[in-house]
């Protein structure tokens, strides 16, 4: 298992903040990086496409300034998520801008990221690719990616069906490089568990949807706070790709969350919003099964501080042969 040099000395905890459609913005990304975890956003969140350059200027500038003022602190690099799909007609534009601003990490989703990798290698960018199974993992490695993000059962938004206890060991049979694990990770003990099962980094998304900086509506944040893991619905209706969504948001859109039709994959379109009049991410809120562990929406820096404290408490308990607390609240009790 190998952590890239870029990440080895710049993380306060082995966590990457997952890119969240609509939700991730410069405010959130900057605060995540300043707190010592990788902050990421989908390029498509910057609309119209000219806004992406404004975001890249701001993020690179503010992080450089912060590092100069605080040379003793761990400041993580940021990442941009690229949707590699035929319906994303601005992909090349976004790739070119990332190269212009020397974005340190690009996260790719859906199809094999050959063009992204080609651009990234010209300036030393790391490329991590989302996968849900072994077939896709091997194809991504053929493209030359620097790491794999294993999106397992329970992850928010687009997600796979496999347990991390199945997928991580299977991928480790043929790959000893950098692995990120996604799926219901909302506390520091789960970050430690991700490492224990064989991953290098935990990929945390939904926990940051419920944060002060996130570009999520108050209703979205409150729905996460009030929901439990069993209120997550797994369906491909909204984008053509299977994903996990908040049951209450589906019902609020006038649909029956317990009787959803199957989508036509051939109509998958990230420009139009999918297979229904309601739009994923805006009307239908993606979230993982870890929602039952989220009770507030504090600043991102506070969330990272909690994750770090929980991670260290869990590691200490494990080494001492004690029951591992899953949260600081449980540890205090």
- What domains does the chain contain, in order, with CATH numbers? 5-214 (3.20.20.70), 218-289 (no CATH)
Q: What is the pLDDT confidence band of residue 270, given thresholds at 50, 70 and 90?
A: low
Q: Are 221 and 209 in contact (CB under 8 A)?
A: yes
Model confidence pLDDT, tens digit, residues 16-41: 999 999 999 999 999 999 999 999 99
Least trusted range by pLDDT, from 47-51, 82-86, 275-279, 322-326: 275-279
For residue 327, is pLDDT > 90?
no
Model confidence pLDDT, tens digit, residues 70-119: 999 999 999 999 999 998 999 999 999 999 999 999 999 999 899 999 99
Q: Are 235 and 242 in contact (CB under 8 A)?
A: yes
Tokens in use for 187? 């506390």
For residue 268, is pLDDT > 80?
no
Nearest CA-CA partner of 113 in 146, 145, 151: 145
- Residue 274 pLDDT: 44
- Residue 41 pLDDT: 99
The rounded distance, in Å, linking the Cα atoms of 331 and 325 is 5
Buried b vs exposed e over 264-281: b needs ≥16 C-beta within 10 Å?
A: eeeebebeebbbbebbbb
Nearest CA-CA partner of 185 in 10, 18, 11: 18
Least trusted range by pLDDT, from 70-79, 245-254, 262-271: 262-271
Model confidence pLDDT, tens digit, residues 183-235: 999 999 999 999 999 999 999 999 999 999 999 999 999 999 999 999 999 99
């Amino acid at each position: 298992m190998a952590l890239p040099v870029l990440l080895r000395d710049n993380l306060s905890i082995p966590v990457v903040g997952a890119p969240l459609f609509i939700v991730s913005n410069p405010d959130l990304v900057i605060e995540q990086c300043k707190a010592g975890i990788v902050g990421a956003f989908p390029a498509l969140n910057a609309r119209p496409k000219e806004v992406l350059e404004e975001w890249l200027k701001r993020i690179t500038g503010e992080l450089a300034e912060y590092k100069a003022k605080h040379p003793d602190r761990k400041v993580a690099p940021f990442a941009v998520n690229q949707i590699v799909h035929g319906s994303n007609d601005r992909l090349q534009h976004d790739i070119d801008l990332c190269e212009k601003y020397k974005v340190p990490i690009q996260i790719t989703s859906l199809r094999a990221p050959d063009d992204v990798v080609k651009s990234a290698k010209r300036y030393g960018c790391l490329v991590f690719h989302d996968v849900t199974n072994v077939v896709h993992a091997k194809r991504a490695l053929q493209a030359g990616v620097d790491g794999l993000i294993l999106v397992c059962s329970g992850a928010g938004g687009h997600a796979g069906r496999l347990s991390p206890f199945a997928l991580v060991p299977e991928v480790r049979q043929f790959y000893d490089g950098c692995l990120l694990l996604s799926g219901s990770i909302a506390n520091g003990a789960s970050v430690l568990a991700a490492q224990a099962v064989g991953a290098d980094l935990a990929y945390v998304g939904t926990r940051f949807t419920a944060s002060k900086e996130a570009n999520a509506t108050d209703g979205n944040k409150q729905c996460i706070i009030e929901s439990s893991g069993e209120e997550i619905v797994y369906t491909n209706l909204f984008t053509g790709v299977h994903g996990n969504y908040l049951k209450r948001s589906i019902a609020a859109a006038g649909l029956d969350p317990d009787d959803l039709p199957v989508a036509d994959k051939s109509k998958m379109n990230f420009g139009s919003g999918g297979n229904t009049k309601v739009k994923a991410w805006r009307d239908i809120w993606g979230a993982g099964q870890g929602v039952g562990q989220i009770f507030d929406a504090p600043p991102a820096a506070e969330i990272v501080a909690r994750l770090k404290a929980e991670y260290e408490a869990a590691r200490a308990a494990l080494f001492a042969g004690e029951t591992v607390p899953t949260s600081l609240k449980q540890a205090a009790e």
